[in-house]
Structure 1
Amino acid sequence: MLVFSWFLVTLLLVASSWAKEEVATTEEDTYRELSVGELLERANRDRTHDFNEPALIGGDIAIKLEADRNADPCTSRGCLWQKWSDGKVYIPYFIANHYSSREMSIIIRGLESFSSISCIRFRPYQDGDYEWLSIESRNGCYSYVGRQGGGQTVSLDRQGCLYHSTVQHELLHAMGFNHEQTRSDRDNHIRVYWENIIDGMAYNFDKINTLNQGTPYDYNSVMQYERYAFSKNNRPTMVPIPDSNVSFGQATQMSKNDIDRLNRLYDC
Protein backbone atom coordinates (compact mmCIF):
# COMPACT_ATOMS: atom_id res chain seq x y z
CA MET A 1 0.00 0.00 0.00
CA LEU A 2 2.88 2.35 0.87
CA VAL A 3 4.58 1.59 -2.43
CA PHE A 4 1.35 2.26 -4.34
CA SER A 5 0.87 5.61 -2.53
CA TRP A 6 4.42 6.62 -3.33
CA PHE A 7 3.88 5.68 -6.98
CA LEU A 8 0.62 7.66 -7.11
CA VAL A 9 2.24 10.78 -5.61
CA THR A 10 5.15 10.51 -8.04
CA LEU A 11 2.75 10.14 -10.96
CA LEU A 12 0.79 13.23 -9.87
CA LEU A 13 3.99 15.27 -9.51
CA VAL A 14 5.20 14.24 -12.97
CA ALA A 15 1.79 15.04 -14.49
CA SER A 16 1.80 18.44 -12.79
CA SER A 17 5.30 19.12 -14.10
CA TRP A 18 4.25 18.12 -17.63
CA ALA A 19 1.20 20.38 -17.41
CA LYS A 20 3.29 23.36 -16.30
CA GLU A 21 5.85 22.68 -19.02
CA GLU A 22 3.08 22.42 -21.62
CA VAL A 23 1.57 25.75 -20.49
CA ALA A 24 4.98 27.43 -20.57
CA THR A 25 5.67 26.00 -24.01
CA THR A 26 2.27 27.12 -25.27
CA GLU A 27 2.83 30.65 -23.95
CA GLU A 28 6.29 30.76 -25.51
CA ASP A 29 4.94 29.51 -28.85
CA THR A 30 2.21 32.17 -28.75
CA TYR A 31 4.76 34.93 -28.34
CA ARG A 32 7.05 33.35 -30.91
CA GLU A 33 4.32 33.54 -33.53
CA LEU A 34 4.03 37.32 -33.13
CA SER A 35 5.76 39.40 -35.78
CA VAL A 36 8.76 41.47 -34.84
CA GLY A 37 6.72 44.68 -35.05
CA GLU A 38 4.09 43.31 -32.67
CA LEU A 39 6.77 42.17 -30.23
CA LEU A 40 8.48 45.57 -30.29
CA GLU A 41 5.23 47.47 -29.82
CA ARG A 42 4.26 45.23 -26.92
CA ALA A 43 7.63 45.60 -25.23
CA ASN A 44 7.75 49.40 -25.65
CA ARG A 45 4.05 50.10 -25.08
CA ASP A 46 4.36 51.37 -21.51
CA ARG A 47 7.85 52.80 -21.83
CA THR A 48 8.28 56.16 -20.13
CA HIS A 49 11.08 58.48 -21.17
CA ASP A 50 13.43 59.69 -18.45
CA PHE A 51 16.80 61.43 -18.39
CA ASN A 52 18.66 58.10 -18.23
CA GLU A 53 17.08 56.87 -21.45
CA PRO A 54 17.23 58.25 -25.01
CA ALA A 55 14.20 59.57 -26.86
CA LEU A 56 12.80 57.10 -29.38
CA ILE A 57 11.34 57.56 -32.84
CA GLY A 58 9.70 54.94 -35.01
CA GLY A 59 8.93 52.95 -31.88
CA ASP A 60 12.44 51.66 -31.17
CA ILE A 61 15.06 53.96 -32.78
CA ALA A 62 17.13 55.90 -30.25
CA ILE A 63 18.19 59.47 -31.04
CA LYS A 64 20.58 61.81 -29.29
CA LEU A 65 19.26 65.11 -30.57
CA GLU A 66 15.87 66.36 -31.69
CA ALA A 67 17.58 67.34 -34.95
CA ASP A 68 17.98 63.63 -35.65
CA ARG A 69 14.22 63.08 -35.60
CA ASN A 70 13.72 63.84 -39.30
CA ALA A 71 17.12 62.83 -40.63
CA ASP A 72 18.84 59.56 -41.36
CA PRO A 73 22.30 59.77 -39.75
CA CYS A 74 23.62 57.23 -42.21
CA THR A 75 22.93 59.45 -45.19
CA SER A 76 23.66 62.77 -43.48
CA ARG A 77 27.02 61.98 -41.86
CA GLY A 78 27.91 58.34 -42.51
CA CYS A 79 27.49 55.51 -40.06
CA LEU A 80 29.33 52.44 -41.27
CA TRP A 81 31.44 50.26 -39.02
CA GLN A 82 35.08 49.84 -39.99
CA LYS A 83 36.06 47.23 -42.53
CA TRP A 84 39.40 45.49 -41.99
CA SER A 85 42.03 44.44 -44.50
CA ASP A 86 40.73 40.86 -44.54
CA GLY A 87 37.37 42.11 -45.85
CA LYS A 88 35.52 41.50 -42.58
CA VAL A 89 33.68 44.04 -40.43
CA TYR A 90 34.48 43.27 -36.79
CA ILE A 91 32.06 44.82 -34.30
CA PRO A 92 32.88 44.48 -30.60
CA TYR A 93 30.02 43.84 -28.22
CA PHE A 94 29.61 43.69 -24.47
CA ILE A 95 26.64 41.89 -22.91
CA ALA A 96 25.60 43.02 -19.43
CA ASN A 97 25.70 40.32 -16.76
CA HIS A 98 22.04 40.59 -15.76
CA TYR A 99 20.87 38.09 -18.40
CA SER A 100 20.24 34.42 -17.65
CA SER A 101 22.10 31.73 -19.58
CA ARG A 102 19.00 31.10 -21.73
CA GLU A 103 18.65 34.81 -22.49
CA MET A 104 22.35 35.03 -23.31
CA SER A 105 21.98 32.16 -25.78
CA ILE A 106 19.20 34.04 -27.63
CA ILE A 107 21.38 37.15 -27.91
CA ILE A 108 24.45 35.17 -29.01
CA ARG A 109 22.40 33.31 -31.62
CA GLY A 110 21.24 36.64 -33.02
CA LEU A 111 24.79 37.99 -33.15
CA GLU A 112 26.14 34.84 -34.79
CA SER A 113 23.36 34.76 -37.39
CA PHE A 114 25.13 37.57 -39.26
CA SER A 115 28.34 35.55 -39.76
CA SER A 116 26.83 32.95 -42.08
CA ILE A 117 25.17 35.47 -44.42
CA SER A 118 27.57 38.45 -44.51
CA CYS A 119 31.05 39.76 -43.77
CA ILE A 120 29.84 41.09 -40.41
CA ARG A 121 31.56 39.51 -37.42
CA PHE A 122 30.43 40.39 -33.91
CA ARG A 123 33.13 39.64 -31.34
CA PRO A 124 33.39 40.15 -27.55
CA TYR A 125 34.67 43.51 -26.31
CA GLN A 126 38.41 43.73 -25.57
CA ASP A 127 40.44 46.30 -23.67
CA GLY A 128 41.42 49.04 -26.10
CA ASP A 129 38.27 48.89 -28.22
CA TYR A 130 37.12 52.45 -28.81
CA GLU A 131 33.66 51.67 -30.17
CA TRP A 132 31.33 48.81 -29.33
CA LEU A 133 27.75 47.72 -28.79
CA SER A 134 26.69 47.62 -25.16
CA ILE A 135 23.82 45.16 -24.99
CA GLU A 136 21.75 45.81 -21.87
CA SER A 137 18.32 45.17 -20.41
CA ARG A 138 17.08 48.73 -20.18
CA ASN A 139 13.65 50.29 -20.65
CA GLY A 140 12.29 48.52 -23.73
CA CYS A 141 13.81 47.44 -27.04
CA TYR A 142 15.84 50.04 -28.94
CA SER A 143 19.02 50.85 -30.80
CA TYR A 144 20.69 53.83 -32.41
CA VAL A 145 20.97 53.77 -36.20
CA GLY A 146 24.51 53.04 -37.35
CA ARG A 147 27.88 53.48 -35.66
CA GLN A 148 27.83 56.26 -33.08
CA GLY A 149 31.37 56.06 -31.68
CA GLY A 150 32.27 54.89 -28.19
CA GLY A 151 29.95 52.48 -26.44
CA GLN A 152 26.44 52.63 -27.84
CA THR A 153 23.49 50.99 -26.17
CA VAL A 154 21.38 48.27 -27.73
CA SER A 155 18.56 47.71 -25.26
CA LEU A 156 17.09 44.22 -25.14
CA ASP A 157 14.80 44.34 -22.14
CA ARG A 158 14.43 40.99 -20.42
CA GLN A 159 10.69 41.69 -20.36
CA GLY A 160 9.68 41.27 -23.98
CA CYS A 161 12.73 41.82 -26.20
CA LEU A 162 14.51 38.49 -26.15
CA TYR A 163 13.44 36.86 -29.39
CA HIS A 164 15.55 36.05 -32.42
CA SER A 165 13.61 38.49 -34.59
CA THR A 166 13.93 41.42 -32.18
CA VAL A 167 17.65 40.82 -31.69
CA GLN A 168 18.20 40.81 -35.47
CA HIS A 169 15.97 43.89 -35.87
CA GLU A 170 17.90 45.96 -33.31
CA LEU A 171 21.26 44.82 -34.67
CA LEU A 172 20.22 45.88 -38.19
CA HIS A 173 19.43 49.31 -36.75
CA ALA A 174 22.92 49.38 -35.26
CA MET A 175 24.34 48.42 -38.66
CA GLY A 176 22.67 51.45 -40.27
CA PHE A 177 19.14 50.48 -41.31
CA ASN A 178 15.81 52.15 -40.62
CA HIS A 179 12.30 50.73 -40.84
CA GLU A 180 10.96 49.59 -44.18
CA GLN A 181 7.82 51.72 -43.91
CA THR A 182 9.95 54.89 -43.76
CA ARG A 183 11.66 54.18 -47.10
CA SER A 184 11.76 57.05 -49.55
CA ASP A 185 9.65 55.01 -52.02
CA ARG A 186 7.15 53.88 -49.39
CA ASP A 187 4.13 55.58 -50.99
CA ASN A 188 4.48 53.39 -54.07
CA HIS A 189 3.93 50.28 -51.95
CA ILE A 190 2.14 51.26 -48.75
CA ARG A 191 -0.79 53.59 -48.13
CA VAL A 192 -0.64 55.16 -44.67
CA TYR A 193 -3.94 55.87 -42.94
CA TRP A 194 -2.90 58.84 -40.86
CA GLU A 195 -6.31 59.18 -39.21
CA ASN A 196 -5.86 55.80 -37.50
CA ILE A 197 -2.46 56.53 -35.96
CA ILE A 198 -2.15 57.20 -32.23
CA ASP A 199 -2.16 60.94 -31.61
CA GLY A 200 1.38 62.31 -31.52
CA MET A 201 2.93 59.29 -33.24
CA ALA A 202 2.51 60.24 -36.89
CA TYR A 203 6.24 60.97 -37.07
CA ASN A 204 6.82 57.19 -36.85
CA PHE A 205 5.69 57.07 -40.49
CA ASP A 206 7.74 59.98 -41.86
CA LYS A 207 9.67 59.06 -44.98
CA ILE A 208 13.43 59.58 -44.91
CA ASN A 209 16.29 59.19 -47.36
CA THR A 210 16.95 55.57 -46.45
CA LEU A 211 19.77 53.24 -47.48
CA ASN A 212 17.79 51.06 -49.87
CA GLN A 213 20.90 49.75 -51.64
CA GLY A 214 19.01 49.22 -54.89
CA THR A 215 16.80 46.54 -53.36
CA PRO A 216 13.02 46.47 -53.89
CA TYR A 217 10.49 47.37 -51.22
CA ASP A 218 10.17 44.30 -49.03
CA TYR A 219 6.87 43.48 -47.31
CA ASN A 220 8.66 40.53 -45.66
CA SER A 221 11.55 42.53 -44.22
CA VAL A 222 12.28 42.08 -40.52
CA MET A 223 12.31 45.90 -40.50
CA GLN A 224 8.69 46.18 -41.70
CA TYR A 225 6.03 46.80 -39.07
CA GLU A 226 2.59 45.20 -39.37
CA ARG A 227 -0.76 46.47 -40.59
CA TYR A 228 -2.03 47.82 -37.25
CA ALA A 229 1.21 49.35 -35.96
CA PHE A 230 0.56 52.35 -33.70
CA SER A 231 -3.19 52.16 -34.30
CA LYS A 232 -5.45 54.08 -31.93
CA ASN A 233 -8.71 52.46 -33.02
CA ASN A 234 -7.85 48.90 -34.08
CA ARG A 235 -8.04 49.95 -37.71
CA PRO A 236 -5.10 49.58 -40.14
CA THR A 237 -2.44 52.26 -40.20
CA MET A 238 -0.82 50.71 -43.27
CA VAL A 239 -2.29 48.89 -46.25
CA PRO A 240 -0.24 47.53 -49.17
CA ILE A 241 -0.95 48.86 -52.65
CA PRO A 242 -2.09 48.06 -55.26
CA ASP A 243 -3.15 44.72 -53.70
CA SER A 244 -4.48 45.40 -50.21
CA ASN A 245 -4.63 41.67 -49.45
CA VAL A 246 -0.87 41.15 -49.62
CA SER A 247 0.51 39.84 -46.35
CA PHE A 248 3.19 42.04 -44.81
CA GLY A 249 4.96 42.84 -41.57
CA GLN A 250 4.94 39.21 -40.40
CA ALA A 251 8.69 38.50 -40.50
CA THR A 252 10.31 36.53 -37.71
CA GLN A 253 13.85 36.76 -39.11
CA MET A 254 15.88 38.59 -41.76
CA SER A 255 14.57 38.26 -45.31
CA LYS A 256 16.64 37.74 -48.45
CA ASN A 257 16.36 41.48 -49.19
CA ASP A 258 17.50 42.35 -45.66
CA ILE A 259 20.57 40.19 -46.23
CA ASP A 260 21.20 41.55 -49.74
CA ARG A 261 21.09 45.20 -48.65
CA LEU A 262 23.34 44.46 -45.65
CA ASN A 263 25.91 42.88 -47.95
CA ARG A 264 25.65 45.73 -50.45
CA LEU A 265 26.00 48.41 -47.79
CA TYR A 266 29.17 46.82 -46.41
CA ASP A 267 30.44 45.58 -49.79
CA CYS A 268 30.65 42.00 -48.55
Structure 2
Amino acid sequence: MISSSHKGCKISYKKVPQMLTLIISISECPLTSQYNDNILHSSSNFTCPSPLNNIDLCTVVIQNLEMTLVNCESYCVFIGKDLADPLVVEGDIAVPYGLQNADPCTARGCLWPKATDGNVYVPYRISNQYSQRETNTIIDGLRSFAQSTCVRFTPLDRQRDFVDIQSQGGCFSFVGRRGGAQVVSLARQGCVFQSTIQHELLHALGFDHEQSRSDRDTHIRILLENVIRGMEFNFRKIQTRNLGTPYDYNSVMHYGRFAFSSNRQPTIVPIPDANVAIGRATQMSPNDILRINRLYNCSMSTKIEHTPHYWH
Protein backbone atom coordinates (compact mmCIF):
# COMPACT_ATOMS: atom_id res chain seq x y z
CA MET A 1 0.00 0.00 0.00
CA ILE A 2 1.44 3.37 -1.06
CA SER A 3 0.31 6.68 0.40
CA SER A 4 0.67 10.19 -0.98
CA SER A 5 -1.14 13.50 -0.82
CA HIS A 6 -2.10 16.25 -3.24
CA LYS A 7 -3.94 19.50 -2.60
CA GLY A 8 -5.05 18.34 0.82
CA CYS A 9 -6.32 14.92 -0.26
CA LYS A 10 -4.76 11.87 1.29
CA ILE A 11 -4.50 9.08 -1.26
CA SER A 12 -3.59 5.48 -0.60
CA TYR A 13 -3.47 3.00 -3.41
CA LYS A 14 -2.34 -0.48 -4.31
CA LYS A 15 -1.69 -2.13 -7.66
CA VAL A 16 -4.17 -4.79 -8.73
CA PRO A 17 -3.17 -6.94 -11.75
CA GLN A 18 -3.34 -4.67 -14.81
CA MET A 19 -5.38 -1.96 -13.10
CA LEU A 20 -5.11 0.42 -10.19
CA THR A 21 -7.46 0.57 -7.23
CA LEU A 22 -7.42 3.84 -5.32
CA ILE A 23 -8.87 4.33 -1.86
CA ILE A 24 -9.57 8.01 -1.31
CA SER A 25 -10.12 9.72 2.02
CA ILE A 26 -13.04 11.95 1.04
CA SER A 27 -13.16 13.82 4.33
CA GLU A 28 -9.75 15.32 3.68
CA CYS A 29 -10.36 16.33 0.05
CA PRO A 30 -11.05 20.00 -0.73
CA LEU A 31 -14.47 20.44 -2.33
CA THR A 32 -13.29 22.09 -5.53
CA SER A 33 -14.63 21.94 -9.05
CA GLN A 34 -11.56 22.31 -11.24
CA TYR A 35 -12.05 20.63 -14.62
CA ASN A 36 -10.22 20.54 -17.92
CA ASP A 37 -10.51 18.73 -21.24
CA ASN A 38 -7.96 16.09 -20.26
CA ILE A 39 -9.97 14.60 -17.41
CA LEU A 40 -10.08 10.82 -17.39
CA HIS A 41 -13.07 9.49 -15.48
CA SER A 42 -12.90 6.33 -13.44
CA SER A 43 -13.26 3.26 -15.62
CA SER A 44 -16.22 1.99 -13.67
CA ASN A 45 -17.97 5.40 -13.71
CA PHE A 46 -18.06 5.09 -9.96
CA THR A 47 -20.00 7.81 -8.16
CA CYS A 48 -19.11 8.54 -4.56
CA PRO A 49 -22.03 8.15 -2.15
CA SER A 50 -23.75 11.23 -0.80
CA PRO A 51 -23.64 13.00 1.57
CA LEU A 52 -19.87 12.89 1.59
CA ASN A 53 -19.50 13.73 5.27
CA ASN A 54 -21.13 10.42 6.18
CA ILE A 55 -18.48 8.24 4.56
CA ASP A 56 -14.81 7.64 5.17
CA LEU A 57 -13.59 5.91 2.04
CA CYS A 58 -14.39 5.95 -1.64
CA THR A 59 -12.98 3.18 -3.82
CA VAL A 60 -12.55 3.81 -7.53
CA VAL A 61 -10.81 2.06 -10.38
CA ILE A 62 -8.97 4.46 -12.66
CA GLN A 63 -7.18 4.21 -15.97
CA ASN A 64 -3.87 5.85 -15.19
CA LEU A 65 -1.02 5.40 -12.78
CA GLU A 66 0.66 8.82 -12.73
CA MET A 67 -2.35 10.72 -11.52
CA THR A 68 -3.20 14.17 -10.21
CA LEU A 69 -6.35 14.65 -8.19
CA VAL A 70 -8.58 17.24 -9.84
CA ASN A 71 -11.91 17.00 -8.09
CA CYS A 72 -13.40 15.08 -5.20
CA GLU A 73 -16.76 16.74 -4.73
CA SER A 74 -19.67 14.62 -5.90
CA TYR A 75 -17.38 12.16 -7.60
CA CYS A 76 -13.67 11.47 -7.94
CA VAL A 77 -11.90 12.49 -11.12
CA PHE A 78 -8.25 12.10 -12.02
CA ILE A 79 -5.92 13.15 -14.80
CA GLY A 80 -2.61 11.59 -15.62
CA LYS A 81 -0.53 9.51 -17.96
CA ASP A 82 -2.14 6.46 -19.55
CA LEU A 83 -0.60 3.11 -18.77
CA ALA A 84 0.75 1.04 -21.66
CA ASP A 85 -0.69 -2.12 -20.10
CA PRO A 86 -4.33 -3.02 -20.78
CA LEU A 87 -7.10 -2.56 -18.28
CA VAL A 88 -8.76 -5.79 -17.22
CA VAL A 89 -12.55 -5.91 -16.95
CA GLU A 90 -14.91 -8.78 -16.14
CA GLY A 91 -12.11 -10.46 -14.24
CA ASP A 92 -10.02 -11.55 -17.21
CA ILE A 93 -10.82 -9.53 -20.35
CA ALA A 94 -8.02 -7.15 -21.35
CA VAL A 95 -9.05 -3.95 -23.13
CA PRO A 96 -7.08 -0.92 -24.29
CA TYR A 97 -7.78 2.23 -22.28
CA GLY A 98 -10.82 4.12 -23.47
CA LEU A 99 -12.51 1.03 -24.97
CA GLN A 100 -14.14 -0.44 -21.89
CA ASN A 101 -17.58 -0.09 -23.47
CA ALA A 102 -16.53 -1.12 -26.97
CA ASP A 103 -18.78 -3.15 -29.26
CA PRO A 104 -18.34 -6.91 -29.35
CA CYS A 105 -15.11 -7.76 -31.08
CA THR A 106 -16.73 -9.59 -33.98
CA ALA A 107 -18.32 -6.29 -35.02
CA ARG A 108 -14.90 -4.78 -35.69
CA GLY A 109 -13.35 -7.72 -37.53
CA CYS A 110 -11.30 -9.46 -34.86
CA LEU A 111 -11.38 -13.00 -36.18
CA TRP A 112 -8.25 -14.95 -37.04
CA PRO A 113 -7.93 -15.62 -40.79
CA LYS A 114 -8.93 -18.88 -42.38
CA ALA A 115 -6.43 -20.67 -44.61
CA THR A 116 -7.22 -22.19 -47.99
CA ASP A 117 -7.23 -25.67 -46.44
CA GLY A 118 -10.20 -24.68 -44.25
CA ASN A 119 -8.27 -24.41 -40.99
CA VAL A 120 -7.72 -21.35 -38.81
CA TYR A 121 -4.06 -21.15 -37.81
CA VAL A 122 -3.29 -19.13 -34.67
CA PRO A 123 0.45 -18.77 -34.00
CA TYR A 124 1.55 -18.87 -30.37
CA ARG A 125 4.64 -18.35 -28.26
CA ILE A 126 5.00 -19.72 -24.73
CA SER A 127 7.22 -17.85 -22.28
CA ASN A 128 10.20 -19.63 -20.74
CA GLN A 129 8.81 -18.63 -17.32
CA TYR A 130 7.00 -21.96 -17.13
CA SER A 131 8.29 -25.32 -15.96
CA GLN A 132 8.30 -28.18 -18.45
CA ARG A 133 5.23 -29.66 -16.80
CA GLU A 134 3.36 -26.35 -17.01
CA THR A 135 4.42 -25.91 -20.63
CA ASN A 136 3.11 -29.38 -21.47
CA THR A 137 -0.23 -28.56 -19.80
CA ILE A 138 -0.52 -25.38 -21.86
CA ILE A 139 0.35 -27.23 -25.07
CA ASP A 140 -2.31 -29.84 -24.26
CA GLY A 141 -4.84 -27.01 -23.88
CA LEU A 142 -3.78 -25.51 -27.21
CA ARG A 143 -4.05 -28.86 -28.96
CA SER A 144 -7.50 -29.58 -27.51
CA PHE A 145 -9.06 -27.18 -30.02
CA ALA A 146 -7.89 -29.31 -32.95
CA GLN A 147 -9.85 -32.31 -31.69
CA SER A 148 -13.26 -30.87 -32.55
CA THR A 149 -12.79 -27.54 -34.38
CA CYS A 150 -10.86 -26.18 -37.35
CA VAL A 151 -8.70 -23.99 -35.08
CA ARG A 152 -5.04 -24.96 -35.02
CA PHE A 153 -2.72 -23.27 -32.55
CA THR A 154 0.75 -23.53 -34.10
CA PRO A 155 4.21 -22.53 -32.78
CA LEU A 156 5.26 -19.05 -33.84
CA ASP A 157 7.47 -18.91 -36.91
CA ARG A 158 7.73 -15.44 -38.44
CA GLN A 159 4.10 -14.35 -38.29
CA ARG A 160 3.25 -10.80 -37.28
CA ASP A 161 0.10 -11.58 -35.28
CA PHE A 162 0.30 -14.19 -32.57
CA VAL A 163 -0.79 -15.17 -29.07
CA ASP A 164 1.97 -14.49 -26.54
CA ILE A 165 1.39 -16.73 -23.51
CA GLN A 166 2.99 -15.32 -20.37
CA SER A 167 2.75 -15.61 -16.60
CA GLN A 168 1.63 -12.12 -15.61
CA GLY A 169 -0.70 -10.95 -12.85
CA GLY A 170 -3.51 -13.47 -13.10
CA CYS A 171 -5.48 -15.03 -15.95
CA PHE A 172 -6.57 -12.66 -18.73
CA SER A 173 -6.78 -12.19 -22.49
CA PHE A 174 -7.91 -9.72 -25.11
CA VAL A 175 -11.10 -10.65 -26.95
CA GLY A 176 -10.31 -11.60 -30.52
CA ARG A 177 -7.31 -10.90 -32.72
CA ARG A 178 -5.70 -7.58 -31.82
CA GLY A 179 -2.67 -7.52 -34.11
CA GLY A 180 0.98 -8.05 -33.24
CA ALA A 181 1.97 -9.91 -30.10
CA GLN A 182 -1.12 -10.09 -27.90
CA VAL A 183 -0.68 -11.32 -24.36
CA VAL A 184 -2.66 -14.18 -22.92
CA SER A 185 -1.72 -14.26 -19.26
CA LEU A 186 -1.74 -17.64 -17.52
CA ALA A 187 -0.13 -17.01 -14.16
CA ARG A 188 1.81 -19.99 -12.86
CA GLN A 189 -0.08 -19.69 -9.58
CA GLY A 190 -3.68 -20.61 -10.31
CA CYS A 191 -4.11 -20.37 -14.10
CA VAL A 192 -2.36 -23.38 -15.65
CA PHE A 193 -5.38 -25.68 -15.79
CA GLN A 194 -7.21 -27.10 -18.80
CA SER A 195 -10.43 -25.16 -18.21
CA THR A 196 -8.62 -21.85 -17.62
CA ILE A 197 -6.37 -22.30 -20.64
CA GLN A 198 -9.37 -23.03 -22.86
CA HIS A 199 -11.30 -20.11 -21.32
CA GLU A 200 -8.59 -17.55 -22.07
CA LEU A 201 -7.95 -18.93 -25.55
CA LEU A 202 -11.68 -18.70 -26.29
CA HIS A 203 -11.43 -15.01 -25.43
CA ALA A 204 -8.51 -14.72 -27.86
CA LEU A 205 -10.65 -16.37 -30.54
CA GLY A 206 -13.37 -13.74 -30.08
CA PHE A 207 -15.72 -14.98 -27.37
CA ASP A 208 -17.08 -13.06 -24.38
CA HIS A 209 -18.33 -14.46 -21.08
CA GLU A 210 -21.53 -16.47 -21.17
CA GLN A 211 -23.16 -14.37 -18.43
CA SER A 212 -22.62 -11.25 -20.59
CA ARG A 213 -24.90 -12.59 -23.34
CA SER A 214 -27.60 -10.29 -24.64
CA ASP A 215 -30.27 -12.87 -23.69
CA ARG A 216 -28.99 -13.59 -20.20
CA ASP A 217 -31.89 -11.99 -18.30
CA THR A 218 -34.15 -14.95 -19.04
CA HIS A 219 -31.55 -17.38 -17.69
CA ILE A 220 -29.80 -15.70 -14.75
CA ARG A 221 -30.30 -12.91 -12.21
CA ILE A 222 -27.38 -10.63 -11.35
CA LEU A 223 -27.45 -9.61 -7.67
CA LEU A 224 -25.48 -6.37 -7.70
CA GLU A 225 -26.20 -5.81 -4.02
CA ASN A 226 -23.78 -8.67 -3.29
CA VAL A 227 -21.03 -7.44 -5.63
CA ILE A 228 -17.89 -5.77 -4.30
CA ARG A 229 -18.41 -2.03 -4.52
CA GLY A 230 -16.75 -0.64 -7.63
CA MET A 231 -16.74 -4.04 -9.36
CA GLU A 232 -20.27 -3.82 -10.79
CA PHE A 233 -18.92 -3.17 -14.27
CA ASN A 234 -17.78 -6.80 -14.39
CA PHE A 235 -21.43 -7.82 -14.79
CA ARG A 236 -22.26 -5.72 -17.83
CA LYS A 237 -24.54 -7.15 -20.49
CA ILE A 238 -23.39 -6.70 -24.08
CA GLN A 239 -24.83 -7.22 -27.53
CA THR A 240 -23.36 -10.62 -28.32
CA ARG A 241 -23.48 -12.87 -31.36
CA ASN A 242 -25.03 -16.01 -29.94
CA LEU A 243 -24.73 -17.94 -33.21
CA GLY A 244 -28.08 -19.69 -32.81
CA THR A 245 -26.99 -21.52 -29.67
CA PRO A 246 -28.85 -21.67 -26.34
CA TYR A 247 -27.66 -20.08 -23.13
CA ASP A 248 -25.20 -22.58 -21.65
CA TYR A 249 -24.82 -22.96 -17.88
CA ASN A 250 -22.14 -25.58 -18.61
CA SER A 251 -19.98 -23.29 -20.73
CA VAL A 252 -16.33 -22.95 -19.76
CA MET A 253 -16.96 -19.22 -20.29
CA HIS A 254 -19.51 -18.93 -17.45
CA TYR A 255 -18.74 -17.25 -14.11
CA GLY A 256 -19.41 -19.06 -10.87
CA ARG A 257 -22.27 -17.95 -8.65
CA PHE A 258 -20.02 -16.18 -6.13
CA ALA A 259 -17.90 -14.18 -8.58
CA PHE A 260 -16.82 -10.81 -7.10
CA SER A 261 -18.99 -11.39 -4.02
CA SER A 262 -18.51 -8.95 -1.17
CA ASN A 263 -20.39 -10.97 1.44
CA ARG A 264 -20.14 -14.66 0.46
CA GLN A 265 -23.62 -14.44 -1.02
CA PRO A 266 -24.35 -15.31 -4.67
CA THR A 267 -23.86 -12.66 -7.34
CA ILE A 268 -25.30 -14.84 -10.13
CA VAL A 269 -28.39 -17.01 -9.68
CA PRO A 270 -29.78 -19.25 -12.46
CA ILE A 271 -33.49 -18.89 -13.24
CA PRO A 272 -36.00 -20.39 -13.00
CA ASP A 273 -34.08 -23.16 -11.20
CA ALA A 274 -31.54 -21.70 -8.77
CA ASN A 275 -30.02 -25.15 -8.20
CA VAL A 276 -28.46 -25.38 -11.66
CA ALA A 277 -24.65 -25.48 -11.37
CA ILE A 278 -22.68 -22.70 -13.05
CA GLY A 279 -18.99 -21.96 -13.32
CA ARG A 280 -17.92 -25.57 -12.75
CA ALA A 281 -16.82 -26.56 -16.24
CA THR A 282 -13.55 -28.47 -16.46
CA GLN A 283 -13.39 -28.22 -20.24
CA MET A 284 -15.23 -26.73 -23.21
CA SER A 285 -18.87 -27.74 -23.45
CA PRO A 286 -20.46 -29.04 -26.67
CA ASN A 287 -22.00 -25.59 -27.14
CA ASP A 288 -18.62 -23.88 -26.71
CA ILE A 289 -17.27 -26.11 -29.46
CA LEU A 290 -20.32 -25.52 -31.65
CA ARG A 291 -19.88 -21.75 -31.38
CA ILE A 292 -16.26 -21.96 -32.49
CA ASN A 293 -17.27 -24.01 -35.50
CA ARG A 294 -20.07 -21.62 -36.40
CA LEU A 295 -18.05 -18.44 -35.85
CA TYR A 296 -15.19 -19.71 -37.99
CA ASN A 297 -17.35 -21.66 -40.45
CA CYS A 298 -15.68 -24.95 -39.65
CA SER A 299 -17.00 -28.06 -41.37
CA MET A 300 -17.30 -30.04 -38.11
CA SER A 301 -20.75 -30.69 -36.68
CA THR A 302 -21.42 -30.69 -32.96
CA LYS A 303 -24.55 -31.60 -31.03
CA ILE A 304 -26.28 -28.78 -29.15
CA GLU A 305 -26.60 -29.62 -25.47
CA HIS A 306 -29.69 -28.37 -23.61
CA THR A 307 -29.48 -30.41 -20.41
CA PRO A 308 -28.48 -28.36 -17.33
CA HIS A 309 -26.40 -29.74 -14.49
CA TYR A 310 -27.59 -29.60 -10.90
CA TRP A 311 -26.06 -29.23 -7.47
CA HIS A 312 -25.83 -32.49 -5.54
TM range (shorter): 0.7 to 0.9
Identify which of 263, 269, 278 aligns with 1:248: 278
Contact 2:18-2:86 within 8 A present in 1 as well: no
Letter in structure 1 aligned against 2:290: D
2:87 is aligned with 1:55: yes
Match of 2:53 in 1: none
Identify which of 219, 227, 231 aligns with 2:257: 227
1:1-268 to structure 2, matched below 5 A, reads: 47=17, 49=19, 51=83, 53-66=85-98, 68-127=99-158, 129-268=159-298
**RMSD (Å) for aligned C-alpha atoms:** 1.4
Q: Equivalent residue of 1:130, what SS?
A: coil
Match of 1:30 in 2: none
Count of matched residue positions in the alignment of Structure 1 and Structure 2: 222
Q: Equivalent residue of 1:94, what SS?
A: strand
Q: Equivalent residue of 1:229, what SS?
A: coil
Write the distance in 2 (CA, Å) between the matches of 1:75 and 1:96: 28
Q: Equivalent residue of 1:260, what SS?
A: helix
Letter in structure 1 aligned against 2:173: S
Q: Equivalent residue of 2:146, what SS?
A: coil
Letter in structure 2 aligned against 1:177: F
- By percentage of residues, which structure has more strand? 2
Letter in structure 2 aligned against 1:60: D
- The percent identity for this pair of structures is 59
Letter in structure 2 aligned against 1:88: N
* TM-score, structure 2 as length reference: 0.69
| Structure 1 stretches lacking a partner, 5+ long | 1-44
Post-superposition shift, 1:63? 0.3
Letter in structure 1 aligned against 2:88: L
Post-superposition shift, 1:46? 5.6
Write the distance in 1 (CA, Å) between the matches of 2:229 and 2:118: 46
Alpha-carbon displacement from aligned partner over 1:127-151 (angstroms, at most 9, x marks no partner): 2x11000111111110000000111
Write the distance in 1 (CA, Å) between the matches of 2:103 and 2:213: 11
Q: Equivalent residue of 2:147, what SS?
A: coil
CA distance 1:121–1:48, change in 2 (3 Å):
closer
Letter in structure 2 aligned against 1:152: Q
Q: Equivalent residue of 1:264, what SS?
A: helix
Write the distance in 1 (CA, Å) between the matches of 2:259 and 2:211: 11
Alpha-carbon displacement from aligned partner over 1:152-182 (angstroms, at most 9, x marks no partner): 0001111111111110000000000000000
Letter in structure 1 aligned against 2:150: C
Match of 2:74 in 1: none
CA distance 1:52–1:99, change in 2 (3 Å):
farther
Alpha-carbon displacement from aligned partner over 1:217-264 (angstroms, at most 9, x marks no partner): 000000001111110011110111111111222111100000001100
| Structure 2 stretches lacking a partner, 5+ long | 1-14, 20-64, 66-82, 299-312
Post-superposition shift, 1:212? 1.2
